[in-house]
Structures are given as structure tokens and as C-alpha cells.
A = this chain, B = another copy of it.
């Protein structure tokens, strides 16, 4: 593996030939990082030192701004050559993000086959199997022998990951079987492939959401999965390196939505304006919801001025109730996210969450009563008992909401992480405050308990 130290800086190298040699020896992703960190004026110089195959690989790893920059700086012929030899799925992603004018010009300069491949992929909706698949795969017609199949694979010269499985189709391109390179390699050349290939093909439809494809490949430990259209015709494959990226991206989305960050793929290094755009909506939303909550608290101001210890207690159980809710919400969303459970398990899960919730209610209610001993005088001790009761009730409500809300959304085929953490804590705050203040007011006005 190449370390930071071995990436000699451009200025330190008198001889560009030495840099050229070094760059062409490094893994493409490391060269990409190296070029991305160079000052802009030196990037095109370094990039021109790469040989043809390496240039395309490195280009695919560069951040999109730098890809655009290089497209402007390099000769048109070189750009065309790079774009032509990019993997169709990566090229589709690039075209999708480039300014329309540049993308159009580049599409026109592609060879007819590559143009077709790009159009096919861009024809499917974002986030579906069709959009992340590559059209470079090995397709074998029924009737070939093992020897003929191996000869065809040898000629294909495709990406290294995509040749370990070949897909057998009929005359209408319908997917029939799958055969591994291993099986082909270890069979007698004269045997027909259909006799050694497996009929048990695990496949994805073009419109399948990418996270479902990823879960499918994870479940069956697949290196590649074939993608078919509605007529069951083979149109592409998805490889395991994409699955790793998809799973990470989905986990990042879940984790960020739970925290009230809505973009889904914000990085620490994102632009401050993007951060603001991702985060402010939930913050302002939470504040707006609080208008409702606070309007509900406002009538109780008299109660609060009579029993000011309430102001000491209230933030405590608001924070705790919110945490109980977030815990249940997070575990539920994550279990749905990794495909461990489905909405059909709702009652089974709710039972377990409620049992845990009762334990929590008991522990937190008791702690609340004990804590109140510090803050209340003997006459106002009853406030502590009411607080303990509400704390316990709030815990049970919290686990119920935290479990049922994401399950309900999933059942409606919506994103379970649509209900973010801040929304749940705000709801629980409101419920808890109203419950608490109502009980305290009743105790004061009807039971005439002392203040």
C-alpha cells in the first residue's frame, strides 16, 4: 500500500519523467487523491503524464469539480478518449452532474455503442438498479459450448470484476441461467454451457431500489447480480463494489436523517452553505412545532409561578423522554435498514419494546422521585411523585412512538427515516409537558395540595 510519504510533491521533482513513472505505478485512486490535492494550475500537467488506461481510471476517481475543470483544460481528443473508455455507469453519473451543454457535446462525440449504453442507464430513475448498473458484462447465448464461452470471455476484455460470472440468455435476450468463470474453467470444453450453468438465477429488476439490490447481494454473498427489464431481458449487471458504496450511502442517510440533517450525504468537508441548507429546515421546523407546544404550556404560567421547582424538573424529563424515544426509533430504523425486520414483525417488536419500556419506566420513574427529594421541600414532595408518574408514562409513550412511527411509514412504502429524531423529541416534549402540567394543576386546584 502506498503511504503519504511516498507521494512526492510535484515541486520536489526536477525530472517530470520520474513523476510520470511514479504516477503510473500507483493505484489509480491514490493518483486521483494526489492530483486533487495539487494546486489547480498543476493538475492538468500531472494528469497529462498518465498513460491512456491509467488516465481513464484516475479520472473516474476525481471529485466532480475537478473532472469538470480538467474537461475544460485538456485537449478535446484526450477528453473524448477518456469519456469513451469510462465504465458506462460512471460515465452516466458524470453526464448527469455536468452542465447540460458540456454533457451534450460529449455525448455527441461518443461511439454509437457507448452513446446507447449511456442513454440506457440515464433512462432509469435515480436510485434504481437501472441507474447504478453497468452495461459491460459477459452474455452467452444458449447453445454455446464451454470452449466457445471461454473464447468469448477472452475476447471481451472487460473490467476485471465483471468476468467472474457470465449470463446465459435465449434468442430474445431473456435471462435463463448463470455460470461462474470457475465452473467454465473446470469443465470439459465440449460440454454445452446450459448443462453446467445454474437455473437458480438471483436477479434484480431495473426499477428495484438500489438499497434492495444491495440487501439482496449481501444476503446471497454475490459478487455481481444481473439486472433485467420488465420482459425479463438482461440489460446490465451490478457489481459488489457498487454494493459496498450503496450500503454506506444508505447508512449515512439513515444516520443523518435521524439527527435532522436532510441532504443525506453531507460530509464534514461539505460547503458551509450546503450544511446550512441541510440542517436549517429541521431546526426551524422544530421551533415552529414549539409554537404549538409552548402555546400549550403558556396557560400554565400561573401554575409555574406557584411551583417554580417545575422549571427545574421539566427540562430533565423532557430530555430523558426524548432520549428513550430516539433509542427505540434508532433501533427500529436501523433494523429496517439492514433488512432484519419488516412491518409484518410490528406486533412482535412492539411487545419486546414495551417490555423494555416498562423496565425503563420503572427505573426512570423511581430515579425521578429520588431526585425530587433534593429539589422539593416536604410540603411539595407530591410534585416529585407526579413527576415520577409522568416520567414513567412518558417512557412507555416514547418507545411506542419510536417503534410504530417508522413501521407505519415503511408499511406505507415511505422512508422510515422520514420521521427524524428532532421531530420525535419535540412531540414527546409536548406530550410530557402537557401531561405533567395538567396533573400538577389538577392537584393544586382540585386536590388543593400545598405549594
Contacts and interface: CB of A to CB of B under 8 A. Distances in A.
Given A220-B29, A319-B426, A275 B163 contact: no
B340 A268 contact: yes
Contact of A251 (B251, B324, B349): B251
A360 B329 CA distance: 26
B223 A269 contact: no
A356 B181 contact: no
Interface residues of A, number: 119
A161 B180 CA distance: 10
A279 B327 contact: yes
Contacts of A145: none
B316 A318 contact: no
State how many copies of this chain the complex holds.
Answer: 2
Interface stretch (A66-74, A97-105, A301-309): A301-309
A341 B161 contact: no
Interface string A54-89: 000000000000000000000000000000000000
Given A271-B352, A279-B360, A315 B312 contact: no
A281 to B, nearest CB: 10
Given A1-B216, A331-B261, A422 B355 contact: no
Contacts of A360: 276, 279-280, 283
A163 to B, nearest CB: 6
A-side interface mostly? helix
Contacts of A363: 280, 283-284
Contacts of A322: 319, 425
A413 interface: no
A44 interface: no
Given A267-B331, A315-B314, A301 B297 contact: no
Contacts of A375: 294, 298
Nearest to A280: B363
Given A182-B160, A251-B251, A269-B349, A261 B327 contact: yes
14 contacts: A1-B203, A260-B326, A268-B341, A268-B349, A270-B331, A273-B356, A280-B363, A283-B364, A284-B363, A290-B315, A294-B312, A294-B313, A304-B311, A310-B311
